[in-house]
Amino acid sequence: MTAKIVIKDLHKAFGPKKVLQGVDLEIAQGESVVVIGGSGSGKSVLLKCILGLLRPDSGEIFVDGQPTVHMGSSDRARMLAKFGMLFQGAALFDSLPVWQNVSFGLIQGQGMKLSEAKKLAIDTLAKVGLGADVADLTPAELSGGMQKRVGLARAIASKPEIIFFDEPTTGLDPIMSDVINQLIAERVRDLGATALSITHDMASARKIADRIVMLYRGKIIWQGKTAEIDHSGNAYVDQFINGRAEGPIQMEVRAS
Amino acid sequence: MNDFLATIGRSALGFFASVGRLFLFAGVSISHIVRPPFYLKLVLRQMMLIGYNSLPVVGLTSLFTGMVLALQSHTGFAGFGGDTAVAMLVVLSVTRELGPVIAGLMVAGRVGAAIAAELGTMSVTDQIAALSTLSTNPYKYLVVPRILAGVITMPLLVIVADIIGIMGGYIVAVYLLDANPSSYLHLTWVALKTPDVMSGLYKAAAFGFVVTLMGCYHGYHSRGGAQGVGSATTNAVVSGSILILLMDYLLTSVFFS
């Protein structure tokens, strides 16, 4: 297997606050990696650095062997075409109906015709368990779980090679969380995509991940196969997966 | 003493940093105006929102401005027996100054605030980040259509404001102050000069640019939830209004010196 994404010694600070302090991570083609860690451990910043929404202070990121940190905007746009992303709050465009949200990347990015795009949007909605009647609603009319599904549909509509999931189950009830986890696992497998997720929901991590990586204070302190996480022998990991207040992990007060 | 100097230094650095960010933002936005892809439909939609929907408020304010100008100048010039000056004063003030400035300030309040609130909400809910992950450049998709619509529609709005303002002056002069209608119209026509009107329209285009730029800039960079969006909106309106008056002075000194 070749590495789809390679991250080398990534650093990022906001003023005096060092969020990422030397992250090294390789994600193989078709692998699903879940990054776990508490709030403020630098998970979101890591995703944003890979997508180029934030510029790291030092270190390198390669996607398909191409260095991306100092990419120009047109090269970056070409690179981002390989990506799909499900945002934490779904981040649907509230000025557009659901179907235009789902096929947005195809209409704007690839100039697909509207009639064709709508058909594709309805097909994609069906893959995340939503009927055609949802297509003409606006995002504001949907519940949180439905918005997440639409967000997932939007992330997979262009059949991306790489999909990022930012806290896919945050704010959902346990049943809806499981539905979303199931959908994510199935759709990623269907597409054969490389997936990188960040979460602090262990149920979600266990369901989605081939490999779990734990981030703490801007560094990777443990990584291993999903099945190994219960016998990690790492006090930080044990405290986190068991959700104990006492242990070596001290919670960060300030948000990053 | 050291603290005092440090405070001055910090705020000076902060000021230059934000001016730099603003110029960078303006530069990137302008560079995207001339590079494809172009979103013509979005420009047209923004023209409706910015221009057409501002017609009532711009029309009303310029009507009252013209009316009050006629009233003020009538009482002011009465001592000099200069009733004939009313028409000229109304035409000159409205076309050169008040038409564009009043329309600009109204649009800054209406449109600058709306743009900042919309882009601000999009920014804090990750919608702007989502655009870039969907192979769409947020500058092209969000900023450029608004700036173009502002630059195109402001002069059109000012043409309407000029006409209504001069009409307001006519109504007060003729119906309230018993001026002779045909001589008032004649004096208006004589006083109406193309360079005056054109200078007002150039100003209008510049105002349209700064208002939409400030709305986009503050909205795009808003952070921190609802409060951040609120202060972005305030900043957009305040900075837009101040820049309008500053640009007005600068452009006037260029045009009429």
Q: Nearest CA of chain B to the CA of A73: how many Å?
A: 9
Chain A residues within 8 angstroms (CB to CB) of chain B:
48, 51-53, 73, 77, 80-81, 83-85, 87-89, 91-94, 104-105, 108-110, 154, 158, 164
Q: Is-contact B89 B96, C-beta < 8 A?
A: no
d(CA B134, CA A82): 9
Q: Assign A254 a pLDDT band (cuts: 50, 70, 90).
A: low
Mean pLDDT for B158-174 is 95
pLDDT digits (tens, 9 = 90+) for B100-134: 999 999 999 999 999 999 999 999 998 999 998 88
Taking Cα atoms as reference points, which of A82, A228, A254, A91 lies closest to residue A170?
A91
d(CA B164, CA B166): 6
Please report residues of A whose CB lies closer than 8 A to that of B134: 104-105, 108-109, 154, 158
d(CA B115, CA B146): 8
B256 three-state secondary structure: coil
Residue type, A28: A
Q: Angle formed by the axes of helices B194-220 and B113-124, to 10°?
A: 20
Quick one: what percent of chain A has pLDDT higher than 90?
32
Residue A144, class by beta-carbon neighbours within 10 Å (0-12 exposed, 13-18 middle, 19+ buried)? middle
d(CA A218, CA A152): 28
The enclosing H or E element of A242 equals helix A235-242
* pLDDT for residue B178 is more than 70: yes
Mean pLDDT for B191-212 is 94
Chain B residues within 8 angstroms (CB to CB) of chain A:
122, 125-127, 129-130, 132-137, 141
User: Complex ipTM, two decimals?
Assistant: 0.84
* Maximum Cα–Cα distance across chain B: 71
In this prediction, residue B199 carries a pLDDT of 94
B199 versus A74: which is more confidently predicted?
B199
In this prediction, residue A251 carries a pLDDT of 63
Q: In what order do the strands lie in the sheet with A162-166?
A: A83-86, A162-166, A194-199, A32-36, A211-216, A219-225
Mean pLDDT for A190-219 is 90
Strand extents, DSSP E, A51-122:
58-63, 66-67, 83-86
Cβ distance B127 to A83 less than 8 Å, yes or no, reads no
Interface test with chain A among B32, B115, B135, B223, by most A beta carbons within 10 Å: B135
The token pair at A3 is 């590495």
Please name the member of B122, B127, B133 whose beta carbon is closest to the beta carbon of A51: B133
Mean pLDDT for A196-224 is 90
Place of tokens 């870039």: B132
d(CA B37, CA B29): 13
Q: Is-contact A73 A25, C-beta < 8 A?
A: no
Hey, where are the domains in chain B?
39-255
Given the candidates 3.90.105.10, 3.40.50.10860, 3.40.50.300, 3.40.50.720, the CATH classification of the domain at A3-242 is: 3.40.50.300
In this prediction, residue A80 carries a pLDDT of 86
Residue type, A140: A
Note the helical H segments in chain B.
2-33, 40-50, 55-77, 85-92, 99-107, 113-124, 127-133, 138, 144-171, 181-191, 194-220, 225-255
Mean pLDDT for B48-54 is 93
Region of A10 (left: φ > 0; alpha: ψ -120 to 50; beta: rest) is beta
